Amino acid sequence: MTQALLVIDLQNDYFPQGKFPLWNTEQTLSNVVNAIELANQRGVKVIHIQHIADPAAGISPFFNQGSEGAEIHPQVMAAAPDADVVIKHYADSFEGTNLQQVLEGYGVDELLVCGMMTQNCVTHTAISKAAEQYKVSILADACTTVDEMIHNIALHAVLTRVELASVSSVLG
């Protein structure tokens, strides 16, 4: 199987100095960077997914185009500086993006999904209609959201459609 690590919305606005800080961001950041480093060692393609608020819809509370908050966290970019960056405007990373074409270009048939927010962009990407052609695993220890309960509820909700894994069990 040819794997790709999708790193979804590891953007500054979700961290303590951002406009919408999430729960457990430092541990999640550490686990995501570790996942990227392991992926790099194993030749797994890393793909950054970056949410940019749709400017046609007006100013958003966060992730506005050109803002520091919308930028991918510097530690994540440093771990995979040459990775493709797919820009999205919806929770589903496939919707209205070139993600499908990027994955096809690399011959990917297995997705390892991590990022922010578990109950929104992570799960919507993992259970996307477009993702059905892939073996999909969510790296549960490399995701976060507003609090631990919502994180766990979201992961439980997708168990019938995707596998849950840890960074070390899949990439270690």
Mean pLDDT (whole number) for 22-49: 98
The pLDDT value given to residue 72: 98
* pLDDT of res. 68: 97
Q: In whole angstroms, give the CA distance from residue 33 to residue 29.
A: 6
Rounded average pLDDT over 27-53: 98
For residue 58, pLDDT over 80 is answered with no
pLDDT of residue 1: 84
* Count of domains for the chain: 1
Q: Which of 101, 94, 11, 102 is nearest to 52 (CA)?
A: 11
Q: Which domain holds residue 74?
A: 3-171
Residue 59: its pLDDT value, please?
76
Q: At 95, which CATH number?
A: 3.40.50.850
> Under a CB-based contact definition with an 8 Å cutoff, are residues 122 and 112 in contact?
no
At 21, the pLDDT band (50, 70, 90 cuts) reads: very high
**Mean pLDDT of all residues belonging to the chain:** 97
N-terminal to C-terminal alpha carbon distance within the chain = 16
117 φ, ψ to 5°? -95, 140
Give tens-digit pLDDT for 72-130: 999 999 999 999 999 999 999 999 999 999 999 999 999 999 999 999 999 999 999 99
What count of other Cβ atoms lies within 10 Å of the Cβ of residue 10?
27
Taking every pair of Cα atoms in the chain, the longest distance, rounded to a whole number of angstroms, is: 43
